[in-house]
Structure 1
């Protein structure tokens, strides 16, 4: 696509340096991370070519992907103009524009001001830049320049031919004072990625087609090294060989990529796709290099980053669905080898010839200065990385060749590596829980405190999982105490009392292990979602696409690709995972204080391995009982738990602290002894060299120390220590390798070799674990547990699972929309600035300030008495319900008076009642299904009748909305609106509910305003979505006119009145039907059927509310200080839970707990509900269907000591509304 990047005007004397007078640029086509460097490079390049263009001449100079068109007009003004474009921009319009720009500049800017460029204002450049992006504009308007004979005057040159003898652009870049170090590095990187100027879309298709044809043949066989089993005395967990299959090569993958994705595209389609997608022409060198050198990839050409960028941007595209599958299989299978092989060392350097480990640290690794992480990664990311590292590596100090833990992400750090360790953290009380805030691995006590805090959060998640997973509610009228008895119990096999200890232990084992699977599922999903998402920069760039190594796929021969065949970690990856350079400044200070205490203030540079071992054996051995462990000075409470406020403070601080950058000379001196230990350990293991490892990974080996790290001081020192690049040790090579710059597809920015390996690590750890793949099933985790482990790409965090965990375990300190919860692995200040740059409309949706830590707010006051509950619900000054605020979020209006809509509805109460009765009868007749004999009929009375009744009424009679193909979709949309506005208690679902509610309103608003804004008449009667609602809409419009409401306000008023309360109406009817289906209430049921109207309502009454209210409890937040509720002080911001269920017991007029307007206003509810209930109860021989189909799928849990009720829907999501209840009746 033709594009102008910049226009510059310069004073260019015949001799001497030029001066930039004015410039304008459009860098929108570059990524955020490239813009700063390119913004510096454009003026530099313009100045360079202008100074080297003789006065009176024009020339076009090409450099990499850009062309600089220069016109040095000379004359008395000595002015020159430079326009930098892509290589597709035509020459003639470019020079026409330059001439016009110079003429305007001379006419409008006095020559006297040219000596002070800072004061020159020439905004016309911006308009030129925008207007003439289309070269036809320049060529049409400037035909007066037609006498220009570009074939004689314009010279086409490369930058090399323009430079004077002995000059090199590289040297000019290095010497420039106007380019930052980052821009200079960017230029060097860009120089390594040249691209043909003739690679148009049509030529590209031809090239790709030819390459695809060549590659369609079977790949040559590779020589494959021995498996881990062949060379290790330690057996692997599975008998399978881990040799890389021959068909899993880059050559095979790219032939599929080209044939399946590009070969079938028309050139124009391909051209359009390239213009509008992340597949840029500048990415092709990486692809071509992979094709040509598939066993020796040049990772400096960013193949992996280009592919990840492509996949994240086109996820969901049908054109690239096959590409997605192939990419994921390729990335999964190729790096599987390192876990099952050791890389044989080929270098013959004797140990005595290796440099001293201490000297290596002092010259190559010791931190010279702290450099913030360039990709905005927070310290919390590396705290989580510590959990992964310690889960899979635990070197046996008695035998360093033995790994004391498994090679799986089984959270052994939490649960222990043996039954003995596991027993120290388990309660064994029959409920499968862990001791409060306990974990099994004492090594983490000596890590920065965020590491232990994250593990405590996972410990709490285990207990939360087993509490929600494993109990079942048989009688909603049962009383519940503060003891948390879980009430789902999907299979109905768990008990609360036991015949003996053996029975109790058996149940405890069952629940414990299932809850552990759920928790490990969370751990895995955090790795794939948050962790890998940060590594690849996907969260940073706002993409929810992820690699899915767990998915089932087939090979080219249609055989299933292997999963769950086991992993064995290797020494190479043990060395790779030591990332001390990333330690934040604050965590460095914490570590220094710890070392000062441990080593009595001894100078860090003088600590020896012997000193460290002595302290490790005397001061680092914790108490044997994990219940006594603590960290960072935290104190356990009487219940064994740490304060939520303490954990939240640690975690939020860690999120706000920027991690350090990967780099040579980046490791804090306090860790010198640890690094020396690491270097010596690698030597004792006989680890391979840096180049050996790169060859093993299929990467191009380094040819020189300078190629390994371009920093002269670093590569010179390394060359002096190791002499030959082939001698460079793996551990040192990984730590001091030049780091990758941030770019799309690269967020972690480690050294190039680590970058290639780390993705392989995360993928293989999950792909090889049978409990995270073939055994990761709803049966093993239970349906709810399995569902709870899944990503929600619409949760505002782009699929983050740690977000859900923080909201769930520390809800008082992670408020909804907090960036600290949505992006915990990114520095909030960095993320805010990035989002403000790239997505200004979204940045305001998040709260970027650190959440307030107030211990007084931590405790939630639970009130259960009638007087206290009524007081809390009635006092809207102190305890506002927040409904108006959430209506504002959904509709954009908060103060619209909707009472006139209610008045209008009640005028037609009798009509609506008859509609509900008729529709109930019709739905039952239409959706009932029979058994074989046809004498018994069944119907899901909740899903197919009660839930959709108000939906039909709103769509047909009120708003004129189309029902669509699936009325259930419309019901769930309305239910999300109701939940968001009235029952929005879970911050982890807040974002999704809000967006769903906004979408529902958008559809409603569009249709209603279209109806109300048109001339409604009998001519509209043939419009199916409007015909039945026409009378009501006509009267509504007239009423709105009398109240002086515009269409926007009218639409909002109608939406708030009817849509927000639809699900509540259905829930109330469901609870009544469920109440009267009890066989003990047959006589009452018969009375209701006989009665009509008000008499039926008198019989139904509100007795059912005392047993089964629609809402069992609500939260309220104090908006004033010094509040007293039941003799308890509630501070400003303090929360109260009003237990409607408890307060309703024995009330004469029980509370419904829902706003009384719309469908649940007393007149409407009391008019419609008894007739609908009567119509259902009059079905002959009505009773519940057999088994679980005939009961509501719900459970009760203890919330701060009060009972709260939830339902499980067909997808195993926890929801506040009933979903299904099948009844049977006779015909």
Structure 2
């Protein structure tokens, strides 16, 4: 580099650069001089180049890029594996600097990048935006007061038509156009009063006009369940217990709704109960530590603040979830019935929460904009015409009580309003102290379930009224007159103006408004022109839509039917908490899933979830009352009979089931299990439902289908087929090898000397799936058999679902869905097994249907069960058994149990030795590598002890005769500091025939009178003392085979060097103590033990224990768990799926590590 006076000079330009400069100078010398020599210096008058120059600069690959760009712009979906963005940059960089097309594409790219984000954002991480505010504020983060309580109503449209100053008197309008008189017309589609109770809740949720200033709405403009939770902070405070996120039981905030028929209050009480159910679940699940109770570290003010936050987080999250169910009921049940979609088998629904994609052809509707309800829609939602006869009588009676016996239809308006004001002012401020329907509260603050269910049943059976002119009960005369006065105070537009706003044609004649000559004549006498008809009287007097299926279910007045759909879409889509912030993260995975809609159940309707959670002890799992409450049962029968689904539902009236009695001692449990004459097995109906065929049921005689001689004969037959010659060695070897194979193939390296695997999901579960598939030659698809039908994971889920529907059907809110899915899956698998069994029955021992296409692609060295598969099927076909009897009556019930029971047993056993029993791991490792019979015997005993100490097993029995049972709790909860030396607590049960018993094998397995040092591992216990395989005539007939299989699996796993949990929650089984939910926190009943038709769990099947101890409508508890100081689990537990979105019948995931 050259220098000048010590200053470095820039490098000399290259020859090409210098020649380029010369060319530019020559170009300027021959160009036309500018017209104006002194234009602005930054004025760009450069001409853009055309398409020809662009094409010269581009290649064939750039043409492909253009096509990709146009396709992405059109569809709104960019597969970034195609590197479109990078290819666009390459192409644009090649174009001339002033390319016209290049600028357009650059502008399009910028627009696409810009539109990828909201501008401005509609969601915020600010604390004030995390939960719903009590008054509805902060829904729109840019305009926090939009739609808040105690703000003015909006106006939907300006009133532009001249309206006469001398309008008809409100009294005349009611008498001529609205009054029902003595005539009641039932709803043409059989809609029940329940739908209109929800409509009343919605109306009071978003419209509550200030009596002192009609322009002010004292509630929020959002569907936030303010009638339950309150319209402001003070109202919300007096609804809360400020403990564990709970509401005060069986009450609601709104005073006004106490003035409506009691069915409205029952509806809100159900939401109250659902909230408390949700809060209790959130606390026990504690997803991601979000609801961890403050520990002893917090003291003084810090402790108080921590507990307040704990309560508030539970309360607010439970409210979000409860509101989620509320809006799903509105969109999936309420709107579906309004549109008569409930009369079809279509799963289509009008849900404004749809996610619209962004592309060049769409303009997605805005969401999370906030909402502000208008006075016009305040008038739209006055549906007094639909009041049933029963509710009309109730309303008239209440008014007469307030008016000292006067008829509300003739009493002066000022007297009626004054009486209503006195009534509201006399109501106590505390919601739990307000009278409701003449009911008295129990000591725990709840109402009697029987009374509430009776009102609910009557409301579902009560047919509502129809819409149209002259349909409003006379007793509401003052209320309607006040409505007319309010509408005039608001200066709302006319009926035709309102219609024009929604793009509807104007009513040209009075007959257009209502073709009834009498009504049209009255309208003509009251108004000069159809254009002069006021909005509110016009909405009421307008003709109703005829029934149309689907399309018109509500059969409301024409204008109203169009407007309410727009409002429903606006209310939901405009609400931030129902759109962009309605996420599993905000509701928790469990909460989001709990209230979610599933089109496989009632075409997506969800009302049954609310009813079952509120009253779990009164409705069958398929009760028509719970599943379709918005239509009367008689009309529902017509609908479902036409659809061919009426037989799927129970038409019996709700009735309370008896309580479950829990038996806990070893002596009482074994005595009951020994006596099948007086204590009957309970699983037959569920097995039959799952396996039944059009020509009948073949599972009635299955060994666990009953207590008759045929069931005993089935047991003998199955046992003989299961225990073929050499069975022990064959089963042990198979399970040892398959476990080792899965450990090797499904684990991965964590560092140079450590391996990790999900021991439950990828080893134990799949090993048992392969085992049962080999036993019965099920069509499994894997690497060794690529032409099978079900993958290992699919087969596992099919068999586990089938098991759950028979033995884990403990959650009545999920029972209907579970049972029907299980039947569908079992029938599909069963047909394949049938096809194979048919071939086996007609050919040689080893050939079968699956052998035609299940041959491995190369000779296999995989583990096999040579004496089973088709040989097993052949043995089951002996003694004249038909193929149908063998498949549906034996094979399918057996396959449903093996995978689940063995997976549960081994998972629980391993969980024990990785925690409380970890001091035994070195000895287990040593024994696993000795390779002697004596070592294997000790491993089996270790395995049985792990199952005893960690197992959660429960069995049901039904009393066939009256019985007196002496029982005792083996010992008190070890965490009970008041009883450091727990002793058995004796109790005597005097029971009637029909009572359901829950035999708690978990507590019985720790009975110190049978198991000395019951909390420790001992290898000298008699083998016949273990009862987690059951006892007596129904003891697991596969017990010996199960012991052999599980011991081999256990040996493979504990033989891993340095076996340990993976760090953190990944290495632990997600489980919680179980307790019974009876509809409300504080409800002192003890279980119900009966789900659906009463078949919940039936004892041990196939290879061992069943169930996981869920009792009746079992949920997780937060105060009834038994857990000792050392963390050893006592009693019954519930488990969750890996994502913790739902409960699961057995452990689902646990990652372990070992030294490679």
Cα deviation, residue 943, structure 1: 0.3
Asked if structure 1 preserves the Cα contact closer than 8 Å seen for 2:780 and 2:795, the reply is: no
Alpha-carbon separation, structure 2, partners of 1:1099 and 1:413: 60
- Which runs of 5 or more residues in structure 2 are unaligned? 1-135, 145-151, 693-697, 703-713, 782-788, 857-863, 967-986, 1012-1024, 1077-1085, 1087-1119, 1122-1130
Partner of 1:716: 521
1:794 aligns with 2:594: no
1:357 aligns with 2:156: no
In structure 2, relative to structure 1, the CA distance for the partners of 1:1159 and 1:560 (3 Å cut) is farther
1:919 aligns with 2:742: no
Tell me the TM-score normalized by structure 1: 0.68
Cα deviation, residue 1030, structure 1: 8.2
Alpha-carbon separation, structure 2, partners of 1:1026 and 1:981: 34
Asked if structure 2 preserves the Cα contact closer than 8 Å seen for 1:901 and 1:1054, the reply is: no
Aligned-partner SS, 1:1104: helix
Deviates more, 1:1006-1015 or 1:1178-1187: 1006-1015
Alpha-carbon separation, structure 1, partners of 2:1149 and 2:336: 37
Cα deviation, residue 572, structure 1: 0.7
Q: What does 1:947-986 correspond to in 2, within 5 Å?
A: 947-963=765-781, 964=789, 966-986=791-811
Cα deviation, residue 238, structure 1: 4.2
Asked if structure 2 preserves the Cα contact closer than 8 Å seen for 1:956 and 1:1025, the reply is: no
Q: 1:434 aligns with which of 247, 250, 253?
A: 247
Cα deviation, residue 1045, structure 1: 1.0
Once the two structures are superposed, residues 818-837 of structure 1 have per-residue CA deviations (whole angstroms, 9 ceiling, x without a partner) of 00011111111111122223
Partner of 2:368: 564
Aligned-partner SS, 2:1073: strand
Asked if structure 2 preserves the Cα contact closer than 8 Å seen for 1:340 and 1:568, the reply is: yes
1:381 aligns with 2:258: no
Deviates more, 1:945-954 or 1:1114-1123: 1114-1123
Alpha-carbon separation, structure 2, partners of 1:874 and 1:748: 58
- Which runs of 5 or more residues in structure 1 are unaligned? 1-233, 243-337, 473-486
Alpha-carbon separation, structure 1, partners of 2:996 and 2:900: 26
Partner of 2:829: 1004
Cα deviation, residue 381, structure 1: 0.9
Q: 2:908 aligns with which of 1062, 1071, 1074?
A: 1071
Partner of 2:814: 989
1:778 aligns with 2:584: yes
Q: 1:598 aligns with which of 396, 402, 406?
A: 402
Partner of 1:1050: 886
Cα deviation, residue 555, structure 1: 4.8
Once the two structures are superposed, residues 892-950 of structure 1 have per-residue CA deviations (whole angstroms, 9 ceiling, x without a partner) of 1332344323322222232122111111111111111113x442111111001111122
1:503 aligns with 2:306: yes
Once the two structures are superposed, residues 310-356 of structure 1 have per-residue CA deviations (whole angstroms, 9 ceiling, x without a partner) of xxxxxxxxxxxxxxxxxxxxxxxxxxxx99652211332234x2112
Q: 1:1082 aligns with which of 916, 921, 929?
A: 921
1:1023 aligns with 2:836: no
Partner of 2:1044: 1167
Alpha-carbon separation, structure 2, partners of 1:710 and 1:1119: 65
Deviates more, 1:386-395 or 1:1154-1163: 1154-1163
Partner of 2:875: 1039
In structure 2, relative to structure 1, the CA distance for the partners of 1:934 and 1:901 (3 Å cut) is farther
Deviates more, 1:512-521 or 1:1154-1163: 1154-1163
Q: 2:640 aligns with which of 835, 859, 878?
A: 835
Q: What does 1:118-517 correspond to in 2, within 5 Å?
A: 238=140, 341-351=155-165, 353-368=166-181, 369-429=183-243, 431-471=244-284, 490-491=289-290, 493-495=292-294, 499=299, 500-517=303-320
In structure 2, relative to structure 1, the CA distance for the partners of 1:506 and 1:1022 (3 Å cut) is closer
Alpha-carbon separation, structure 1, partners of 2:288 and 2:678: 39
Once the two structures are superposed, residues 931-983 of structure 1 have per-residue CA deviations (whole angstroms, 9 ceiling, x without a partner) of 3x442111111001111122112324422323346422221111111111112
Q: What does 1:530-545 correspond to in 2, within 5 Å?
A: 530-545=333-348
In structure 2, relative to structure 1, the CA distance for the partners of 1:241 and 1:1108 (3 Å cut) is closer
Asked if structure 1 preserves the Cα contact closer than 8 Å seen for 2:805 and 2:818, the reply is: yes
Aligned-partner SS, 1:606: coil
Q: What does 1:81-100 correspond to in 2, within 5 Å?
A: none
Partner of 1:176: none
1:749 aligns with 2:555: yes
1:888 aligns with 2:691: no
Q: 2:1135 aligns with which of 1193, 1197, 1207?
A: 1207
Alpha-carbon separation, structure 1, partners of 2:568 and 2:740: 56
In structure 2, relative to structure 1, the CA distance for the partners of 1:237 and 1:835 (3 Å cut) is closer
Aligned residues: 875
Asked if structure 2 preserves the Cα contact closer than 8 Å seen for 1:373 and 1:658, the reply is: yes
Aligned-partner SS, 2:222: coil
Alpha-carbon separation, structure 2, partners of 1:688 and 1:759: 20
Partner of 1:844: 647
Cα deviation, residue 1172, structure 1: 0.4
Cα deviation, residue 847, structure 1: 0.8
In structure 2, relative to structure 1, the CA distance for the partners of 1:1133 and 1:422 (3 Å cut) is farther
Deviates more, 1:976-985 or 1:1133-1142: 1133-1142
Partner of 1:1188: 1065
In structure 2, relative to structure 1, the CA distance for the partners of 1:641 and 1:984 (3 Å cut) is same
Asked if structure 1 preserves the Cα contact closer than 8 Å seen for 2:608 and 2:813, the reply is: yes
1:640 aligns with 2:460: no
Determine which structure has greater relative contact order: mean sequence separation of CA pairs < 8 Å that are 6+ residues apart, divided by chain length. Answer: 2
In structure 2, relative to structure 1, the CA distance for the partners of 1:522 and 1:827 (3 Å cut) is same
Q: 2:419 aligns with which of 598, 604, 615?
A: 615
Q: 1:945 aligns with which of 757, 763, 768?
A: 763
Q: 1:651 aligns with which of 449, 456, 461?
A: 456
Asked if structure 2 preserves the Cα contact closer than 8 Å seen for 1:981 and 1:1060, the reply is: no
Partner of 2:1149: 1220
Alpha-carbon separation, structure 2, partners of 1:1157 and 1:864: 19
Q: What does 1:616-765 correspond to in 2, within 5 Å?
A: 616-621=420-425, 622-743=427-548, 744-765=550-571
Cα deviation, residue 1055, structure 1: 1.5
Aligned-partner SS, 1:1206: strand
Alpha-carbon separation, structure 1, partners of 2:997 and 2:876: 38
Asked if structure 2 preserves the Cα contact closer than 8 Å seen for 1:878 and 1:1119, the reply is: yes
Alpha-carbon separation, structure 2, partners of 1:671 and 1:878: 60
In structure 2, relative to structure 1, the CA distance for the partners of 1:1153 and 1:682 (3 Å cut) is farther
In structure 2, relative to structure 1, the CA distance for the partners of 1:951 and 1:393 (3 Å cut) is same
Aligned-partner SS, 1:948: helix
In structure 2, relative to structure 1, the CA distance for the partners of 1:838 and 1:1089 (3 Å cut) is same
Asked if structure 1 preserves the Cα contact closer than 8 Å seen for 2:495 and 2:533, the reply is: yes
Asked if structure 2 preserves the Cα contact closer than 8 Å seen for 1:1061 and 1:1160, the reply is: no
In structure 2, relative to structure 1, the CA distance for the partners of 1:1128 and 1:759 (3 Å cut) is farther
Partner of 2:1116: none
Cα deviation, residue 1130, structure 1: 4.5
Q: CA RMSD in A?
A: 2.8
Once the two structures are superposed, residues 585-605 of structure 1 have per-residue CA deviations (whole angstroms, 9 ceiling, x without a partner) of 111121122112111221232
Aligned-partner SS, 2:168: coil
Aligned-partner SS, 1:937: strand
In structure 2, relative to structure 1, the CA distance for the partners of 1:889 and 1:436 (3 Å cut) is same
Alpha-carbon separation, structure 1, partners of 2:1052 and 2:794: 25
Alpha-carbon separation, structure 2, partners of 1:761 and 1:1137: 50
Once the two structures are superposed, residues 385-425 of structure 1 have per-residue CA deviations (whole angstroms, 9 ceiling, x without a partner) of 11111111111112110001111111111111222111101
Cα deviation, residue 446, structure 1: 1.0
In structure 2, relative to structure 1, the CA distance for the partners of 1:909 and 1:805 (3 Å cut) is farther
1:1145 aligns with 2:959: no
In structure 2, relative to structure 1, the CA distance for the partners of 1:976 and 1:607 (3 Å cut) is same
In structure 2, relative to structure 1, the CA distance for the partners of 1:876 and 1:996 (3 Å cut) is farther
